Amino acid sequence: MEYTVKSGSPEKQRIGCVVAAVYASRKLSPSAKILDDVSGGVISNLVRRGELEGDIGQTLLLHNVENTLCDRVLLVGCGKEKDLSTPNFRKINQAMVKRLQASGATEIASYLTEAPVKRRDITWKIGQSIEAIDECLYHFNQLKSDQKPPRRPLRKFIFSVSGRGQLTDGEVAVRNSMAISTGINLSKDLSNLPGNICTPSYLAKQASVLQEQYLNIKTTVLEENEMEKLGMGALLAVSRGSREAGKLIAVEYMAGDKDQAPIVLVGKGVTFDSGGISLKPGAGMDEMKYDMCGAASVLGTIAACAELQLPMNIVAIVPTVENMPGGIAIKPGDIVTSMSGTTIEILNTDAEGRLILCDALTYAAKYEPDVVIDVATLTGACIVALGEHPAGLLGNHSPLINDLLSAGQKSGDRCWELPLWDDYDEQLKSNFADIANIGGKGAGTITAACFLSRFTKKYHWAHLDIAGVAWKSGHHKGATGRPVSLLMQYILDRFEGTQSAM
């Protein structure tokens, strides 16, 4: 898809379709009012007759509107003008795309960017529009035998800005958002692949492809014998039951100053999670291919940074395994020793994500990081606590937590902080080892983070539990690409902060 920005009046756009907003109670937006005036009241007459009320997501397509140069005018309902939220702004863009896909138009001039969203500027609206459009157009059909493209696919969107003074900012927003969408789509593609294709070896190969595609990227893959020498007994314990060898992937994007401490992203990469000996129920087990969405998201984030060639240092670490109930798989009651030397009693083999993450988090210290953020589909308890809207957020450094909360609000890829109190550590006590790998029935998301916190004492750390947001089930089953938007917003905010400090 091609995206660009332009200033100009809607009736003068020689293009396949001009898109304008109509608010609740049939109020026309400025661009819709211009189109109405030049056409002799065609739009206001239709709206007055009840053809469009202006409710969120309603659409009305008009052809050959008099005294305009475009072939079509699409009116999109935006709800109450003063109450347009981030989720609803994305909804109106997606309603636009769904209607246009059946229209025959291929090039679009969108004036939805003039719709007011509280405390959001034109660059934000352009960025959100691109992400919403790309989300709507994304389809995973690589493995289908019939891959017929649409008869007349959408191929270009022009976003309206109010004057030439906004063109430069608009172009920056386009560039940033297209890079973010690249990262999101990579994350979705990796996550949607079945477990028989997307194995630990496949993830390692895809990480190596990034090294070939982009400048400033170096990919290193540790094999099981190398991890054994490092003492990664927790990670290797999980991979033991599978014929697929585990890997530890490190993707280093080093485009900043040599003395700049890197941002380290750690992504859980369980390419299929059967639960191991603590076998999961059969219903819905196909979705356990999504247990590597954390890995996919950090690789997508690195790709987006490389697309933008940000002058920063960022490292993605991916511990990747299959969790299978093989003959030599770990068993409940087994005790393993992590890279840090901490001994862990395995009370449930389906709490495997924290086992591979703890060794990866210990390994992360070698980079002397500025901050470490791990991303994992870690606990079903997070879905119970927060549902499918925000990711769970915990950590040991309040400024980092606040920055991630702010980035989530700005990007629309929200997270919500849960407490990481010492009180919860009691639940992880073991009679036989330093720590147990589960903490009982209560506060499962928090006790999982408490477990990880034991391995993050040397740096500032945050944990994102994305179990509720990484994929959708049912009719719309598929990966969401979250939290690439959140991570990229955090990184861009950090970049802008360093630029303004110079």
Using an 8 Å Cβ cutoff, are 435 and 454 in contact? yes
Residue 136 has pLDDT above 60, yes or no: yes
Residue 150 pLDDT level (bands cut at 50, 70, 90): low
Cα angle: 288, vertex 480, 189; to 5 degrees? 75
Q: pTM to 2 decimals?
A: 0.95
Q: Letter for the amino acid at 197? A: I
pLDDT of residue 165: 86
pLDDT of residue 152: 81
* Average pLDDT along the chain: 96
Candidate from 145-159, 331-345, 370-384 with smallest mean pLDDT? 145-159
Residue 502 has pLDDT above 60, yes or no: no
HSE on the CB side for 294, CA within 13 Å? 33
Q: How many percent of the chain have pLDDT more than 70?
A: 99
CA pair distance 465, 231, nearest whole angstrom: 26
C-alpha 471: how far from chain center: 10
pLDDT of residue 182: 97
CA distances (Å), 347 to each of 36, 201, 343, 358, in order? 68, 28, 13, 16
> Which letter, b or e, does each residue of 48-82 get, where b requires 16 or more Cβ atoms within 10 Å of its Cβ?
eeeebebebbbbbbbeebeebebbbbbbbbbbeee
| 5-47 residue pLDDT tens | 999 999 999 999 999 999 998 999 999 999 999 999 999 999 9
C-alpha 112: how far from chain center: 24
Q: What are the residues whose beta carbons fall under 8 Å from the beta carbon of 147, sequence distance 6 or more?
A: 141
Strands 217-222 and 247-254: antiparallel
What DSSP line would sit under 337-369, residue for residue? E-TTS-EEE-S-TT--HHHHHHHHHHHHGGG--
Active site positions, annotated:
280, 354
CA pair distance 282, 387, nearest whole angstrom: 22
Using an 8 Å Cβ cutoff, are 91 and 35 in contact? no
Q: Tokens 């791990």 identify what position?
A: 374
| 53-63 residue pLDDT tens | 999 999 999 99
CA pair distance 222, 203, nearest whole angstrom: 13
Q: Letter for the amino acid at 53? A: E
293-308 and 167-192 helices, crossing angle to 10°: 150
pLDDT of residue 28: 96
CB-CB neighbours of 144 under 10 Å: 9
Q: In which residue ranges of the chain is CATH 3.40.220.10 found?
A: 2-139+153-178
Q: Which three-class secondary structure state does DSSP give residue 26?
A: helix
| 231-250 residue pLDDT tens | 999 999 999 999 999 999 99
CB-CB neighbours of 14 under 10 Å: 10
CA pair distance 91, 26, nearest whole angstrom: 18
The widest CA-to-CA distance across the chain, in whole angstroms, is 83
Residue 417 has pLDDT above 90, yes or no: yes
Among 36, 44, 99, smallest CA distance to 68 is for: 36
CATH of 193-501, one of 3.40.1190.20, 2.80.10.50, 3.40.630.10, 1.50.10.10: 3.40.630.10
State the average pLDDT over residues 433-449. Answer: 97
pLDDT of residue 499: 61
Residue 339 has pLDDT above 80, yes or no: yes
CA pair distance 75, 89, nearest whole angstrom: 14
pLDDT of residue 500: 57
- The H or E element that residue 173 is part of is helix 167-192
Q: How many percent of the chain have pLDDT more than 90?
A: 93
Q: Which three-class secondary structure state does DSSP give residue 58?
A: coil
Q: What's the token pair of residue 64? A: 């050959």
Q: What are the residues whose beta carbons fall under 8 Å from the beta carbon of 315, sequence distance 6 or more?
A: 250, 251, 252, 253, 262, 263, 264, 265, 364, 367, 369
pLDDT of residue 496: 87
Q: In which residue ranges of the chain is CATH 3.40.630.10 found?
A: 193-501
> Which letter, b or e, does each residue of 264-290 get, where b requires 16 or more Cβ atoms within 10 Å of its Cβ?
bbbbbbbbbbbbbbbeeeeeeeeebbb
| 211-233 residue pLDDT tens | 999 999 999 999 999 999 999 99
Using an 8 Å Cβ cutoff, are 289 and 272 in contact? yes
CA distances (Å), 259 to each of 169, 312, 338, 369, 426, in order? 30, 11, 30, 11, 40
Cis bond upstream, residue 483 (ω within 30): yes
Residue 151 has pLDDT above 80, yes or no: no
Q: What is the CATH number of domain 2-139+153-178?
A: 3.40.220.10
Q: What DSSP character marks residue 104?
A: -
State the average pLDDT over residues 485-502. Answer: 84
Q: What's the token pair of residue 94? A: 């997606």
